[in-house]
Amino acid sequence: MINKSKRLKNLEIKRYSIFTDNFEICYICGRYRTDLHEILYGKNRINSIKWGFVLPLCRNCHQKMHADRALTEYWIKKCQKYFELFHTRDEWIDTFKKNYL
């Protein structure tokens, strides 16, 4: 368990986003960022961090993201389209276990 925690900590320290370089402001509304949202969460959280599928969000926008399934699916589809610029759909499915397109 300790090794996994160290690995996750290192991933989180090196976290980046394919959508923005500015982690200080909310990507949606421009207010001060309070949270970092992994677009693919749950069992895909680590893969989301590895691939830069992260958005800096204020608390309000972060809550909206989790409450609005259509908004979440929109961002997941954007991530898959980006991934498929460099890899195949089968590789996406191998990594994230589901096709969203």
Whether 50 shows a pLDDT value over 70: the answer reads yes
Q: How far apart are CA 74 and CA 64, in angstroms?
A: 13
Q: How far apart are CA 82 and CA 69, in angstroms?
A: 20
Q: How far apart are CA 58 and CA 55, in angstroms?
A: 10
Largest CA-CA distance found in the chain, in angstroms, rounded = 38
Average pLDDT rounded to a whole number, residues 80-86: 96
Q: Point out which residues pair with 73 in neighbouring strands.
A: none
Question: Measuring CA to CA, which residue among 38, 42, 69 is closest to residue 55?
Answer: 38
Q: How confident is the model at residue 79 (pLDDT cuts 50, 70, 90)?
A: very high
Q: How far apart are CA 1 and CA 65, in angstroms?
A: 30
Q: What's the pTM?
A: 0.83
Whether 99 shows a pLDDT value over 80: the answer reads yes
